[in-house]
Chain A
């Protein structure tokens, strides 16, 4: 069935380090792909999205490219900040054969000063 798998956390980095959070998906149709971020005590909010193959989503220095050949949507940032500490969720959305949005389990990121 349709699913999203993302790397387990927590991920701990020093400030200004490079970040990669891996996300792969399985889907029967052509999904849209999303990264959401959850800061402590808050709900999820959209970080970036891509709606078709080879699209690159970007926001706040984060980027992810929709790779159909590897069914992946890895999140990257060149230089993390303490304020990036949060939980990151990869998700897919499908609207074929009925509505479906599936979230990954989430990856907690800690950034140390």
Chain B
């Protein structure tokens, strides 16, 4: 079974709708992240969380919110989706105890906002 899972894998929605993307992990890591990937732009960090009570904004947090329901679960919400939020979204985890922040990624959620 995959260590980092994301649901749904694909989603089509309309402008103005609220949607939630979910991420679960079985790696036991404290740190979790949400990124979006756009062609030619690499990955950009939306939000990150270092433990259940810690939430931090990343580079592009406007229009997004997150919830860390448990150590293993980190959800991303688009309160009112807009077409330029069409992208591939990745959840990732890391364990910084080794000191070098290797990240482990889920398979991604492809979101299309019409």
Residues of A at the B interface (CB closer than 8 Å) are: 32, 34, 36, 41-46, 49, 51, 89, 93, 95, 99, 101, 103-106
Q: Are A44 and B100 in contact (CB under 8 A)?
A: no
Contact B101 A43 (CB under 8 A): no
Instruction: List the interface of chain B (C-beta within 8 A of A).
Output: 4, 33, 40-45, 48, 50, 56, 90, 92, 96, 99-108
B42-A49 in contact (CB<8A): no
A46 to B, closest residue via Cβ = B102
Known A-B contacts A32-B101, A46-B103; A89 and B43 likewise in contact (beta carbons under 8 Å): yes
CB <8 Å contact, A51 and B100: yes
Select which of A93, A95, A99, A106 is within 8 A of B42 by beta carbon: A106
- Whether A93 and B108, one on each chain, are in contact in the complex, defined by CB atoms closer than 8 angstroms, is no
Q: Closest 4 interchain pairs by CB?
A: A43-B105, A93-B101, A105-B42, A103-B42
